[in-house]
Structure 1
Amino acid sequence: MRLLRVELLRFRSRALIRWGAAGAVLIGLLFVFGAYQSSAPVPQAEIDAARADYDEAVADWEENGAEYTAECEEEEAAEKENDPTVDFGCEDGGPGEWSDWIGGTSSFSDVGLELVDVAGVVYLMVALVLGVTFSAAEMSTGAISSWLTFEPRRRRVYWSKLAAAAIGVLPIVAVALGVVVGGAWLAFTLNDAQGSMTTGAWAGLAWVLARTLLGAAAFAALGVALGVLTRSTAGALGLVFAWLVVVEMIFGTMEFFGGLKRFLLAVNTQAWVSGRATYYTETCVASDDRGIDCTYAEHVVPMTQGGLVLAVLVVVVCVTAAVTFRRRDIA
């Protein structure tokens, strides 16, 4: 416990951690600004311009609507010779209703949970970076060698650092999430766009916040382990960046990846924070008359799988770093 208290003090005193905490709050303020922008009423000039366009479209449809419909039905009939399932929706033509032309503003009840979902994933990445900077700096400068002269039991030193990072990021992420939720609610309130938040909606929001805090602790521990393994802040963050670009963004979008997409880090992180995540697979077959036909299937990754995949990742990396730290020459 004395080691843990010392490591918590060192975590709180590190300049990069303080800058990271300030950055987390700044990110929260950016989310609040976006919430205010999305809930602001549509300017009257835009309403007037949209109304003029709508009136012009209505007048054109009243004059030429029958001709447009006939042309549509003719093209549809020609296309049905190749594909009987074609439906151009000719009967649904026309300018539609005025409400379809002028979009309404969003409300907190509509987008609040989605906003917190996105912020939660961002703050998991912030926790990972804070964990990396906490351990990698000591490794790269050799300060860990001096520390081991005071406490030579490496296992205790390593696990106390992991615990300190996991605990230390909690108030940072909690305050940042408080800024996002409280600030977004205030922004929507100022624009009179709170919507109708039910008890169930608030409960769902609370669960997202709880899972984000738990995930932040795990990602901070993962960051410490990566810092120990690479012994460099740039190396650890470069490894993370390479994984995200090469595996998640390049290979993860290729169809040969197939069913392995459900194990991507981004998908499972989203599933854990949001409660579920979706991804799509494409299946293409040769067609005699149309060349290639492709169909898309939606797949759902539940929260349970997301949590298990992240837990396995964190445990494997942390244990590997523990073994490496015990056996590797520090100097």
Structure 2
Amino acid sequence: MIRLTKVELRRLIARRLTVIGLAGLFLITLLLLVATWFDARPLSEVEQRRAQEQFERAHQEWAERGDEIRAQCEADWKAQPDPKPSVEEMCTYPEPRLEEFGKPQAVFTQIAPELLHATTYFLAFAAFLIGASFLAAEFSSGAIGNWLTFEPRRLRVYGSKLLAAALGFVPVAAIALAIVLFGTYLIIDRLGDTTSATGKVWGDLLALAGRAALTTAAAAVLGSVTGLLLRHTAAAIGVVMGYVVLIEGVFGSFLEKAQPWLVRLNVDAFVLHGTQYNVTECRTESDGTICDFVQKSLSFEHGAWYLAALFVVLVLLGGAVFHRRDVN
């Protein structure tokens, strides 16, 4: 098994699509850092003066008309029919602060998790695409039949290919995530605020990166299984895009309560160690139907078990098909 896996790893690395895909992936990684640099840059002197002028005008209006505006708001609040928000919620008019005008300072602990999360999806897509091509190309070219003449034990061949796909992307994900994480730190350390990056924060970020790398390896395996089942890279990509558009997009938007059973939200729950989503809850009262957006949570455990079950089912399905189906 080890010998077979080494052979499959060499074949995976030698493929042209693998080289092109990895080059594109690292280019996107660098573009993320470039975008982070531009977003983190402080305002120019001209922009700072403009923000100062806007603050002074807003503060002057607050000082001169604040009481009048609050009084008018409270009068409007009293005239509104029930149900209505509290007067504090509706008529709060706080004193303007300078930091509210212009561009807020970039904070490492806010930006880094978002960039690692975004990088996870780039990595997973690249891993799925390359994994699907890795097996689909062997079926479309007939090379898998020749390979089985040298190693007829199909399940060993199947396992070695999936293991090679997973192992091949672990270092890729680790390098890409390390570039994003430490590159972001260097950028924010120069242009923003990194004082809140404590040891616990670094531990959480490294754990997030570890889960992102595991997700990437799983995507490579599932891409390989999909390529085996469909025998064509374009078909595998079409299935994924169809799922994203029809199920995640259309179905998920109409049936909000089904969101915990969609892949994307469970990936978020696993990678981010828990996530939130919104549902619309309506109630009927004497004056009509009232709908509110309610925020709900999806736990890390739910995401982990969901993805593990999906992974096992698809791998077993691929193994059963490969064991029984004609490869010609």
TM bucket by the smaller chain?
over 0.9
Q: Percent identity?
A: 33
Aligned to 2:209: 209
Q: Is the 8 A contact 1:282 1:297 kept in 2?
A: yes
Partner residue of 1:313 out of 302, 310, 315: 310
Q: Is the 8 A contact 1:119 1:177 kept in 2?
A: yes
Q: Is the 8 A contact 2:128 2:223 kept in 1?
A: yes
**Structure 1 residue 6: Cα displacement:** 0.9
Aligned to 2:295: 298
1:42-121 to structure 2, matched below 5 A, reads 42-79=43-80, 81-83=81-83, 85-87=85-87, 89=89, 92-93=92-93, 96-121=96-121
Residues 137 and 95 of structure 1: is their aligned pair in 2 closer, same or farther, counting only changes over 3 Å? Answer: same
Residues 308 and 52 of structure 1: is their aligned pair in 2 closer, same or farther, counting only changes over 3 Å? Answer: same
Gaps (5+ residues) in structure 2? none
Normalised TM-score (structure 2): 0.93
Aligned to 1:134: 134
**Structure 1 residue 63: Cα displacement:** 3.9
What letter matches 1:3 in structure 2?
L
Aligned to 1:12: 13
What letter matches 1:9 in structure 2?
R
Query: Counterparts of 1:76 and 1:189 in 2: how far apart (Å)?
Result: 46
What letter matches 1:109 in structure 2?
T
Q: Is the 8 A contact 1:39 1:193 kept in 2?
A: no
Query: Counterparts of 1:306 and 1:85 in 2: how far apart (Å)?
Result: 36
Aligned to 1:185: 185
**Structure 1 residue 65: Cα displacement:** 3.6
Aligned to 1:276: 274
**Structure 1 residue 192: Cα displacement:** 4.8
Query: Counterparts of 2:209 and 2:152 in 1: how far apart (Å)?
Result: 38
Q: Does 1:325 align with 2:322?
A: yes
- Supply the RMSD in Å over aligned alpha carbons: 2.0
Residues 181 and 136 of structure 1: is their aligned pair in 2 closer, same or farther, counting only changes over 3 Å? Answer: same
| Farther off after superposition, 24-33 or 200-209 | 24-33
Normalised TM-score (structure 1): 0.92
The number of residues matched between the two structures is: 327
Q: Is the 8 A contact 2:70 2:92 kept in 1?
A: no
| Farther off after superposition, 54-63 or 115-124 | 54-63
SS at match of 1:283: strand
**Structure 1 residue 268: Cα displacement:** 0.8
Query: Counterparts of 2:61 and 2:298 in 1: how far apart (Å)?
Result: 48
Query: Counterparts of 1:48 and 1:9 in 2: how far apart (Å)?
Result: 59
Aligned to 1:247: 247
Gaps (5+ residues) in structure 1? none
Residues 70 and 298 of structure 1: is their aligned pair in 2 closer, same or farther, counting only changes over 3 Å? Answer: closer
Aligned to 1:286: 284
SS at match of 2:87: coil
- Post-superposition Cα deviations, 1:242-299, rounded to whole Å, max 9, x if no partner, equal 11111111111223x52x321210011111111111112211123443x421123222
Residues 53 and 163 of structure 1: is their aligned pair in 2 closer, same or farther, counting only changes over 3 Å? Answer: same
SS at match of 1:253: helix
What letter matches 2:303 in structure 1?
G
Residues 63 and 188 of structure 1: is their aligned pair in 2 closer, same or farther, counting only changes over 3 Å? Answer: closer
Aligned to 1:37: 38
Runs of 4+ in 1 over 6 A off after TM superposition: none
Residues 216 and 55 of structure 1: is their aligned pair in 2 closer, same or farther, counting only changes over 3 Å? Answer: same
Query: Counterparts of 1:254 and 1:87 in 2: how far apart (Å)?
Result: 34
Q: Is the 8 A contact 1:284 1:293 kept in 2?
A: yes
SS at match of 1:92: coil
**Structure 1 residue 241: Cα displacement:** 1.0
| Farther off after superposition, 88-97 or 54-63 | 88-97
**Structure 1 residue 88: Cα displacement:** 6.3
